[in-house]
């Protein structure tokens, strides 16, 4: 969809400009052991961005940028009033969000181009954590940054190589009221907490016991606590309910945190049951994982085997999941976006096809990895298909030529040879075609056309 492409045009163009203006690549300034600390410091000191999170999975560097407001439009107001000119205006990021995205992108480039760790990919996840849970995810190949710096590829080509996606992050929506709850534990009295979250449905004494007497009103003489969220994960359990697991640390207000065993600090775990009616989450119940026994020692609650939730937490959703990116699947995803963009702007294709769904996939197998081109296409004024009449129709051949040309050009530019063939799957046909890598090279050099390749004996 075009609005997804246009969302980041200005940001990526400015980002590419800053890269090409940066001169020679610096020597290693950020050792691998200090990557996270370096990014946090750059964003905080130079741009005033405090809340990013950084993860490293193998050769992939990920940065999470939580934003109070991602889009310029108010989604709920637009839905109620109907004042939406088009999707592009609805999904247009706010100027403040764009500025932060650009600042973090530039910080990422500084670090990955000046570190002794050979990163291959970077991911930036900018997420609206206050209202919508919508997020914009940018994924890029580090060598592309290096190539645009030395003008080996153009800024326009660089922009095409960055994968940008618009997604809904459900975990953010579920975690928001829980995060707010722990913030309120620091600034509200016990009575205010009771009124805001439980409407009198829980006694002050029970509320105190849930948090091991760490819940204190500000005016109490006893020390107050700062609540630090260490981990949070969630899962839906019914259509309108979700569970949120929270691992937190209660630090006395004078303790700066950051240490596992500060004086008086306790690590606690809770399970929150949430109602998710009308796209808003509300806390219904809190279940502690621990209690204080008679001698004042922290004791875990003995849950039955079927309720040992922590055993399956790795399957629950988190706000910033990061997986290692691999070049083959990354190229398949990039090719899908590039060809979709070509198809959407090609006048002949728009005039001759009723509907087109097209995507590439990469299949990594031990001896012969391959790409597949999956195509669902309906020609206008052409309703009776046979295996040969559909694929060898002149307009279908034009579409396949356009797609295959992008395929061979992109893979050659990346010097990617870890595949044996391109498999063509057409929705209307249970069979498939194999386009071998050697023949695709002949096609790239314009020594064979797509019809010639399709006419060869199939494996």
Contact 128, 67 (CB under 8 A): yes
Residue 20 confidence (pLDDT) above 70 = no
Cα–Cα distance, 176 to 30 (Å, whole number): 33
The helix or strand, by DSSP H or E, that contains position 330, with its residue range, turns out to be helix 327-345
Q: Give the residue from 66, 75, 87, 94 showing the smallest Cα distance to 10.
A: 94
Is the pLDDT at 419 greater than 50, yes or no? yes
For residues 384 and 414, the model is more confident at 414
The residue among 368 and 89 whose pLDDT is bigger is 368
Average pLDDT, the chain: 83
Within a 13 Å sphere around the CA of 110, how many CA atoms are in the beta-carbon half?
16
pLDDT in tens, 103-150: 999 999 999 988 989 999 999 999 999 888 889 999 999 999 999 888
* Predicted TM-score (pTM) of this structure: 0.84
Which is more confident, 383 or 355?
A: 355
Query: Given a cut of 70, is residue 446 above it in pLDDT?
Result: yes
Give the separation between CA 21 and CA 18, rounded to whole angstroms.
Answer: 5
Q: Is 420 helix (H, G, I), strand (E, B) or coil?
A: coil
Question: Across residues 181-187, what is the average pLDDT?
Answer: 87
Nearest CA-CA partner of 322 in 13, 36, 7: 36
- Look at residues 330, 328, 343, 322 and name the one whose alpha carbon lies nearest to residue 404: 343
Answer with the residue of higher pLDDT: 367 or 2.
367
For residues 40, 45, 47, 51, the Cα torsion angle rounded to the nearest 10 degrees is 40
pLDDT at residue 1, rounded to an integer: 42
pLDDT digits (tens, 9 = 90+) for 185-241: 888 877 788 888 887 677 777 777 787 777 665 555 455 788 899 999 999 988 889
Nearest to 188 by CA among 211, 229, 219: 219
- Please check the confidence at residue 255 and state whether its pLDDT lies above 70: no
Measure the CA–CA gap between 335 and 404, rounded to whole angstroms. Answer: 10
| CA-to-CA dists, residue 237 to 47, 197, 275, 312, angstroms | 40, 21, 10, 14
Count Cβ atoms below 10 Å from residue 92 Cβ, excluding itself: 17
Q: Is the pLDDT of residue 391 over 70?
A: yes
Cβ(122)–Cβ(96) below 8 Å: no
Q: What is the pLDDT of residue 360?
A: 98
């Amino acid at each position: 969809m075009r609005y997804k492409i246009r969302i980041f045009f200005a940001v990526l163009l400015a980002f590419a400009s800053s890269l090409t203006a940066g001169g020679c690549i610096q020597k290693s300034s950020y050792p691998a052991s200090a990557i996270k600390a370096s990014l946090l410091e750059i964003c905080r000191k130079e741009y005033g961005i405090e809340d990013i999170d950084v993860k490293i999975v193998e050769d992939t560097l990920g940065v999470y940028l939580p934003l109070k407001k991602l889009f310029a439009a108010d989604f709920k107001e637009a839905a109620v009033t109907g004042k939406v000119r088009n999707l592009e205006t609805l999904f247009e990021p706010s100027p403040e969000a764009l500025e932060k995205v650009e600042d973090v992108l530039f910080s990422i480039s500084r670090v990955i181009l000046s570190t002794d760790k050979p990163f291959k990919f970077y991911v930036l996840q900018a997420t609206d954590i206050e209202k919508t849970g919508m997020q914009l995810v940018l994924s890029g190949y580090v060598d592309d940054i290096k190539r645009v710096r030395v003008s080996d590829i153009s800024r326009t080509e660089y922009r095409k190589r960055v994968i940008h996606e618009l997604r809904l992050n459900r975990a953010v929506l579920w975690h928001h009221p829980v995060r707010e709850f722990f913030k309120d534990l620091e600034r509200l009295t016990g009575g205010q907490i009771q009124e805001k979250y439980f409407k009198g449905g829980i006694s002050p004494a029970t509320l105190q016991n849930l948090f091991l007497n760490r819940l204190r009103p500000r005016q109490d003489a006893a020390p107050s606590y700062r609540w630090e969220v260490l981990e949070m994960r969630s899962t839906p359990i019914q259509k309108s309910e979700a569970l949120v697991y929270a691992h937190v640390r209660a630090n006395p207000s004078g303790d700066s945190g950051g240490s596992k065993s500060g004086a008086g600090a306790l690590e606690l775990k809770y399970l929150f049951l949430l109602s998710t009616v009308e796209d808003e989450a509300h806390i219904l119940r809190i279940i502690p994982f621990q209690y204080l026994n008679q001698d004042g020692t922290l004791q875990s609650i003995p849950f039955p085997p079927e309720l040992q939730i922590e055993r399956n937490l790795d399957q629950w959703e988190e706000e910033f999941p990061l997986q290692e990116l691999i070049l083959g699947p990354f190229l398949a995803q990039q090719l899908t976006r590039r060809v979709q963009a070509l198809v959407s702007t090609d006048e002949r294709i728009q005039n001759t096809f009723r509907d087109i769904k097209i995507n590439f996939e990469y299949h990594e197998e031990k001896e012969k990895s391959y790409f597949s081109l999956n195509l669902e296409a309906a020609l206008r004024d052409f309703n009776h298909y046979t295996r040969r009449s559909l694929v060898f129709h002149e307009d279908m051949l034009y579409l396949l030529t356009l797609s295959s040309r992008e395929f061979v050009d992109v893979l050659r530019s990346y010097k990617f040879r870890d595949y044996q063939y391109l498999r063509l799957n057409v929705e209307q046909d249970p069979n498939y075609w194999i386009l071998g890598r050697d023949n695709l090279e002949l096609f790239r050099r314009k020594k064979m056309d797509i019809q010639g390749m399709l006419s060869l004996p199939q494996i």
